[in-house]
A and B are shown apart, each in its own frame.
Chain A
Amino acid sequence: MSGTVIVTGAASGMGRAIAERLKDAGHAVAGLDLQVAETAYSAIVDVSDAVSVRQAVAEAESELGPLAGAVSAAGHYQEIPFGEIDDATWRRMLKVHLGGFRNVAAAVLPKLIEQRQGSIVVISSELAIGGGGGDAHYAAAKGAQLGLMRSLAAEYAHTGVRVNAIAPGPTDTPLLAADSRWREPAYLATLPSGRLATATEVARCAEFLIDGPEFVCGEVLNLNSGAVI
């Protein structure tokens, strides 16, 4: 069903690729980001702020038309040893990733339930599945997204609304630093796919979850170059 899709983090990286793909598939895309997104509707929003997210979603719907769903793609990454993650850094990670997903889901759910259809997608991470060292706050927040996703899926499946996740491995986006350990040839050689995932592939999966079969619900698409099998 074509309609308005909210995409958080739509100004760059995966969010931007998702916004472009959904636009090509016939959706009106509303981008919520800290920067201006090149989408039919764009709002400067910190996704950790529930009130701003709710207001932007309402405004996007009145400008672009009925909601078809949402993709929670906003996020940031930091590598810090666990012992050095201070309270503010820990909380910020949770507020953006878990809180951002919660806020956008809460903002779109009432309309989707009323329409008895719609799709919500969260971009989690392979680190939520396989874990790793050096980014405990990120892995914890990404894992929490999956717990929330499965709960929402179970709670709302009977309404016709579905909730799913994509768990990308290291992906070639601006979020992955130029000197990241995951860009090193020695690491890439360990991957069955032999390369990083791309934002285009994440967007392909997001389109599948937004427009695809409604019996896919509560599921995680593991797009991780075979890093975790």
Chain B
Amino acid sequence: MTEQYLSGKRALVTGAGQGMGTCHARALAARGAFVVCADRTITPSLNELAAEINGTASGFDVCDADAARAAASPEATGPIDVLVLNHAYMSMGDFLDYDEDDWWRVVETNLTGTRNVLHAVLPGMPEGSRIVVISSEWGITGWPEATAYAASKSGLVSLVKTLARELAPRRIAVNALAPGVISTPQLQVDASAAGVPLEEMIDRYASEIPARRVGQPEEVAQAVALLADPTLGAMTGQTIQINGAALRCRV
């Protein structure tokens, strides 16, 4: 049985409805946390997840500051000890031809949406809480045709560094994870965009990673669980890269 070091703790995971977010919620619940599973809307699968891990489902759009402030407030969720900011929106396009509304939608969702949820949750966070922000390898490396996504994700790294310093008096540790290529529904989107079968897309990615495979969402979730550990207070303001030794990028 997994060590129950989050017993009695309350966690909120955004973007819990699919992919990595679902795994983060499960990983925290497996260590004893009560998990508020948040996503843009409450879908049957989000309800199923909440039921599976004895948590609760919460639906709000992170881009809507008022909605986020209401739904993720301490009054609505109870005080949150572990906040996992995992929601993301991604699109790609040539920098000069990028649809302006879509470009801003990426930044608004990933960066402003994170700020909105933090605004809602922070006032109620107890001393010694943990914040985990999911950035991205592309936020460190940059990536062609991902200007909005890369900018938003590297903005998250700077946000984490700054909040680590700003929240130090409250002993709230703030850290980021920068996953490389992970097996999530996004890979199917990439495959469709490239016009190739999913298997071939995965092979293409794997061939460029020294570990010769893509990562699994459960592996990122294990790192989330590490950063949620209340005994690990001396790690703050850091970014952990999870990329199978894809070393051409550094924080």
Contact = CB atoms under 8 A, between A and B. Distances in A.
A212 interface: yes
Contacts of B243: 215, 217-219
Given A158-B212, A229-B161, A217 B245 contact: yes
Contacts of B212: 157-158
Interface in A199-214: 200-201, 204-205, 208, 212-214
A222 B227 CA distance: 12
A213 B234 contact: no
Given A153-B247, A215-B180, A221-B240, A193 B161 contact: no
Interface string B63-96: 0000000000000000000000000000000000
B235 A218 contact: no
Interface stretch (B33-41, B146-154, B217-225): B217-225
Contacts of B240: 216, 219, 221
Interface residues of A, number: 37
Contacts of B232: 201, 204-205, 223
Interface in A78-136: none
A145 interface: no
Interface in A154-196: 154, 157-158, 160, 162, 168-169, 191-196
Contact of B242 (A158, A201, A215): A215
B223 A193 contact: no
Interface in B197-242: 209-213, 215-216, 218-220, 222-223, 226, 229, 231-238, 240-242
B119 interface: no
A197 interface: yes
Contacts of A54: none
A226 interface: yes
Given A153-B247, A219-B242, A226-B165, A208 B234 contact: no
Interface string A50-62: 0000000000000
Given A201-B235, A216-B219, A192 B245 contact: no
Contacts of A223: 232, 234-235
A216 B242 CA distance: 5
A14 B243 CA distance: 27
Contacts of A168: 234
B164 A221 contact: no
Contacts of B105: none
B244 interface: yes
A224 interface: yes
A167 to B, nearest CB: 10
A158 B210 CA distance: 6
Given A154-B210, A215-B216, A193 B234 contact: yes
B141 to A, nearest CB: 14
A157 B216 CA distance: 16
Contacts of B247: 150, 153-154, 218
Contacts of A229: 161, 164-165, 236-238
Given A193-B233, A201-B231, 18 more contacts: A150-B247, A157-B210, A158-B210, A192-B165, A193-B236, A196-B234, A201-B232, A201-B235, A204-B232, A212-B223, A215-B182, A215-B211, A215-B215, A215-B220, A215-B244, A216-B223, A219-B242, A223-B235
Q: Which 8 A-B pairs have the closest CB atoms?
A: A213-B219, A229-B237, A157-B210, A192-B168, A215-B215, A197-B234, A218-B245, A157-B245
Interface of B: 161, 164-165, 168, 171, 173, 180, 182, 209-213, 215-216, 218-220, 222-223, 226, 229, 231-238, 240-247
